[in-house]
Structure 1
Amino acid sequence: MMNARSFIRFLITLISLLLINVIVSIANAKIITSVKPIGFIVEEIASGVTDTDILLPDGASPHTYSLKPSDLVKIKSAQLVVWIGEDMEVFMPTVLKNLDKNKQIELMKIPQIKALLQTGEPHEQGHDVDHDHDHHGEYDEHIWLSPTIAKIIAQSIHDKLIEQYPNKKAVIDENLNEFIVKLAETEQNIAKKLISVQNKGYFVFHDAYGYFESQFGLNNLGSFTINPAVQPGVRKIYAIQQALKEHQAVCVFSEPQFNPAVIGKLVDGTDVRVGELNPLGTGIVPSKGSYSHFLLKLTEQFLDCLNDK
């Protein structure tokens, strides 16, 4: 009889501890971001103020991601959710419609960002082979690839955090200042590095880099729409090979999700080199300086392929 009572007492204690843990974790709710590069910016501004977390794991695409039950718990208990917009993260609007508007920042709706948006066709030179673009909406939503927009994002996070943590204003101000100084240095560094390849033409498989290309004067000749999961047909391969030759492209850039064998077929019979770009910062840990590190890594990926070997 005593054993049964002891067991019930033990269960009650255990349940109480679990409930306390849940309440504590909700009380320490974090800033949640959707994609990693936005998470880099948020972490740099929130460092020493509050915890941050990122919904999408490495390798996941914001275009196709499905929320898990644990993601829903994170979003509901968050003090702030930072996301881009409904054309980029189609999984977010339904979940966020019941969340207090004061607890979310939809970056595409910030007036200063709106003023800098590019449409989905930033290239002057195109080609008539599948010159579709991987944007679901009117504007290019890959806004994290613009250092100029990144500063506006950082300022917006800063302002919101000061509202939520007025007693941490000094830390938040210092974090923003550090971020802006570091980013200005990084932009100068990238501009110097890329000046030697500005006339080198290339194609991409995912038209995500318009903001970065505009800022640093890169020569994107166009994009090919290829589903990473589907082998392109003979006609499509031939058409792409012709476009590569015709435009005298130096390089074609894929991304980690593309099968190397498919890329090999596309460039077969041409002098075009194959490079890989990673627009989502895979493998980089969010910390002070991580956004600049992400941009520099992307710069090196461009240079690896565009530089004369």
Structure 2
Amino acid sequence: MLHNKKWFFSTLFAAGLTVSLTQSADATVVTSLKPIGFIAAAIADGVTPVQVLLPDGASEHDYALRPSDVKRLQGADLVVWVGPEMEAFMTKSVAAIPAQKNLELAELPTVKPLLITGADEDEEAGESGFEHQDESHQHHHEGQYNMHLWLSPEIARESAVAIHGKLLELMPQSKAKLDANLQQFEAGLAQSDQVIGSELAPIKGKGYFVFHDAYSYFEKHFGLSPLGHFTVNPEIQPGAQRLHQIRTQLVEQKAVCVFAEPQFRPAVIDAVARGTNVRKGTLDPLGMGISLTKDSYVKFLSQLSSQYASCLKGA
């Protein structure tokens, strides 16, 4: 009887250990947002799994970590995120993670020189007759930088290089595969850059408004012509004065489109566009519906490009 008990408990312990190891293996790389996961998945393809914390349909601006999210962060070998100015919901949990497991993209020496400052955006907003709301500006551009880094192909490349370096430290035995993955990602990104540049070239001079201030990196990279945004923080609806300013600009500057987002489809966009010839489109800055594969970041950029083009061309 005693022998059977010993056997039972040793079997139970072994099963528990196996489950624990399996869970750990499944959570090797955890990223905050889906587009960051796209980049990580390209580098980790065939080497280790990648998971994303933020579920489809949720917003990084108001998300709260669940207990299961905290466990995933604690069990991860590598956590990749933008930084506390973007994912405030992660700050406390990431603080408990060892530095070697924490990859904060906004702090990379290769990324910092590529950041767009809030001061530049404020100047553009001033020229368009907009005023930033103080609360949302602090929430979203603390430190004076726009933190939607994943919308920059240049920053995506530098992020991929950094993820490659971290995974190489964790898994030196997979060097050949990791090197090949990085090379393939860079080649795909360069090719995609040319294709998207050609697709967007005919609409460079066409004006439009976006719902929230997320797209500066993509727009500057491809030379698009935004007239402004409805809000800096999508959780805070624009006031009557701002809506009046936008409506005036829709008429005076002959904007072609106003863009909503899958996560935010506010009635204010319909109200402002009513009675004008302005078309309504949707931009998805988080790549909803795109699954994590080695090609998902390029698919994400292509999808965003098509969303711009279909509305601005009038297709």
Deviation of 1:304 after TM superposition, in Å, equals: 1.0
Q: 1:290 aligns with which of 283, 292, 296?
A: 296
Alignment of 1:23-42 (within 5 A): 23-26=21-24, 29-42=27-40
Counterpart CA distance in 1 for 2:72 and 2:20 is 11
Q: Secondary structure at the match of 1:224?
A: strand
Partner of 1:86: 84
Q: Could you tell me which residue of structure 2 aligns to residue 175 of structure 1?
A: 181
Over 3 Å counting, the alpha-carbon distance change for 1:274 and 1:161 in structure 2 is: same
User: For residue 144 of structure 1, what is the amino acid of its counterpart?
Assistant: W
Cα distance, 1:86 vs structure 2:
0.6
In the superposition, relative to structure 1, how do residues 8 and 235 fare at CA in structure 2: closer, same or farther (>3 Å)?
farther
Match of 1:223 in 2: 229
Q: How far does residue 235 in structure 1 lie from its aligned partner after superposition?
A: 5.3
The aligned counterpart of 1:136 is 141
Q: Is the 8 A contact 1:131 1:223 kept in 2?
A: no
Query: 1:146 maps to which residue?
Result: 152
1:128 & 1:22 partners in 2: Cα distance?
56
Where structure 2 has 5 or more consecutive residues not aligned to the other structure, the ranges are: none
Per the alignment, residue 262 of structure 2 pairs with 256
Distance 2:197 2:235 in 1: 35
| Aligned-partner Cα distance in 1 for 2:151–2:24 | 32
Give the direction of change, closer, same or farther, for the CA distance of 1:234–1:72 in structure 2 (3 Å limit): closer
Unmatched segments (≥5 aa) in structure 1 = none
**How many positions carry a matched residue from both structures?**
306
Equivalents in 2 of 1:256, 1:282: separation in Å?
A: 8
Aligned partner (choices 256, 270, 275) of residue 269 of structure 1: 275
**Structure-1 residue corresponding to 2:114:** 116
Deviations 1:36-80 (A, max 9, x none): 001000011011111110000001111211000001111111100
Q: Aligned partners of 1:48, 1:65: CA distance in 2, in Å?
A: 30
- CA, structure 1 residues 27+129, in 2 after alignment: closer, same or farther (shift >3 Å)? closer
Q: Which residue of 2 aligns with 1:66?
A: 64
Q: Secondary structure at the match of 1:222?
A: strand
Q: Is the 8 A contact 1:131 1:224 kept in 2?
A: no
TM-score, with structure 2 as normaliser: 0.88
Q: CA shift at 1:29, angstroms?
A: 3.7
TM-score by length of structure 1 reads 0.90
- Find the aligned partners of 1:88 and 1:229 in 2 and give their Cα distance: 14
Q: Secondary structure at the match of 1:291?
A: helix
Deviation at 1:130, TM superposition (A): 4.2
Q: Distance in 2 between matches of 1:165 and 1:252?
A: 46
CA offsets per residue over residues 143-198 of structure 1, 9 Å max, x none? 10000111100000111111111111000000000000011000000000000000
Aligned-residue CA RMSD in angstroms?
A: 2.6
Equivalent-residue separation in structure 2 for 1:206 and 1:232 (angstroms):
10
Q: Contact 2:231 / 2:237 at 8 angstroms: preserved in 1?
A: no
In structure 2, C-alpha distance between the alignment counterparts of 1:304 and 1:28, rounded to whole Å: 39
Deviations 1:6-32 (A, max 9, x none): 999879855763453124322554100
- Equivalences for residues 200-215 of structure 1 within 5 A: 200-215=206-221
Structure 1 residues 129-148: Cα deviation after superposition (integer angstroms, max 9, x where no partner): 44557633210110100001
Distance 1:55 1:197, change over 3 A: same
Shift of 1:239: 3.5
Q: What secondary structure does 2:154 align onto? A: helix
The 5 Å alignment of 1:182-201 reads 182-201=188-207
Alignment correspondent of 1:105: 103
